[in-house]
């Protein structure tokens, strides 16, 4: 989430970017349900004394953002939902074993010899073809340095919780009418993990939403076109007067 944290901090926001249960440094050694992510996040906001906030969620984070807006609507003033949906649908094809091998080789060759571009040959023939459409240096750097670390630090219990929720047919579409706050919904045209159509359906069911679909991008679109994503977020924040003024930032800091 660093691409967002650095930008939002520079614009005067007090940013909290927590590791979810079973991800990153939040270690867990037992099974749990997806609802416990919401419990954790609600407790985090209460412990930090947060009365009003914007939630930015990417992929699973977007689903949790929707859940928070439904559970504690009095605290959430806006949602930024990226590559996510209230009823996530996938168009990911079955992956042969060699695509997984090529993914490892693409990351390895990028880390060892980034200027030789060997990684691109493997990347176009790997699982990365479903995650990105624009095979830029920035995207590969994020995948190699951040994505790989995040993948390795994801516990089997977190994966099981997500898989279980998807098998049960997670669907919050009928509840979206309860969310009346401003929402920005963004998706990549060629997202295979959570299709752009399912993201657009979510945007259309929200009563106060802005929908943007980016061509030639996929699930990791903030790593493909970061400047454009951040520019559109800036425009949306400005339109809804969400960007803190200098006086607000000083006051918030003194209160904390």
Strand partners, 165: none
Instruction: State how beta strands 76-82 and 183-188 pair.
Output: parallel
CATH superfamily entry for domain 2-91+158-255: Alpha/Beta hydrolase fold, catalytic domain (3.40.50.1820)
8 A C-beta contact, residue 43 and residue 18: no
Contacts (Cβ under 8 Å, ≥6 apart) of 166 = 88
Whole-number pLDDT of residue 122: 97
Share of the chain above pLDDT 90, in %: 88
With vertex at residue 28, the alpha carbon angle to CA 27 and CA 31, rounded to the nearest 5 degrees, is 155
Strand partners, 178: none
Domain ranges of the chain: 2-91+158-255, 97-152
pLDDT (mean) for 95-119:
95
Unique residue bearing structure tokens 């699982």:
127
The pLDDT confidence band at residue 86, using thresholds 50, 70 and 90, is very high
pLDDT at 119 over 70: yes
Give the helix/strand (H/E) hosting 53: strand 53-58
8 A C-beta contact, residue 4 and residue 56: yes
pLDDT (mean) for 170-174:
95
40, exposed or middle or buried, with CB in 10 Å at 0-12, 13-18, 19+?
Answer: middle
More confidently predicted of 183 and 246: 183
The pLDDT confidence band at residue 167, using thresholds 50, 70 and 90, is confident
Whole-number pLDDT of residue 248: 52
User: CB neighbours (10 Å) of residue 140?
Assistant: 24
pLDDT at 250 over 90: no
Cα-trace Rg, the chain? 19
8 A C-beta contact, residue 135 and residue 120: yes
Whole-model pTM?
0.92
pLDDT at 249 over 60: no
More confidently predicted of 244 and 231: 231
Whole-number pLDDT of residue 246: 65
């Amino acid at each position: 989430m660093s691409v967002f944290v650095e930008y939002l901090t520079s614009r005067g926001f007090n940013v909290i970017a927590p590791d979810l249960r079973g991800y990153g440094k939040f270690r867990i050694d037992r099974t749990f349900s997806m609802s416990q992510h919401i419990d954790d996040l609600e407790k985090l906001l209460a412990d930090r004394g947060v009365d009003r906030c914007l939630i930015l969620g990417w992929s699973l984070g977007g689903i949790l953002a929707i859940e928070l807006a439904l559970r504690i609507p009095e605290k959430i003033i806006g949602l930024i939902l990226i590559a996510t949906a209230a009823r996530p649908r996938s168009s990911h094809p079955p992956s042969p074993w060699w695509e997984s091998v090529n993914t490892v080789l693409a990351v390895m060759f990028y880390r060892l010899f980034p200027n030789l571009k060997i990684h691109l040959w493997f990347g176009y023939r790997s699982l990365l073809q479903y995650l990105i459409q624009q095979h830029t240096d920035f995207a590969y750097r994020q995948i190699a340095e951040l994505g790989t670390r995040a993948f390795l630090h994801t516990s089997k219990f977190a994966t099981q919780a997500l898989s279980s929720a998807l098998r049960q047919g997670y669907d919050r579409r009928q509840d979206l009418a309860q969310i009346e706050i401003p929402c920005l919904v963004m998706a990549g045209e060629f997202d295979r993990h959570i299709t752009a159509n399912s993201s657009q359906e979510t945007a259309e069911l929200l009563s106060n939403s802005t929908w943007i679909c980016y061509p030639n991008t996929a699930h990791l679109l903030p790593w493909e076109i970061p400047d454009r994503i951040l520019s559109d977020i800036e425009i949306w924040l400005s339109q809804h007067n969400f960007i803190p003024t200098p006086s607000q930032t000083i006051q918030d800091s003194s209160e904390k």
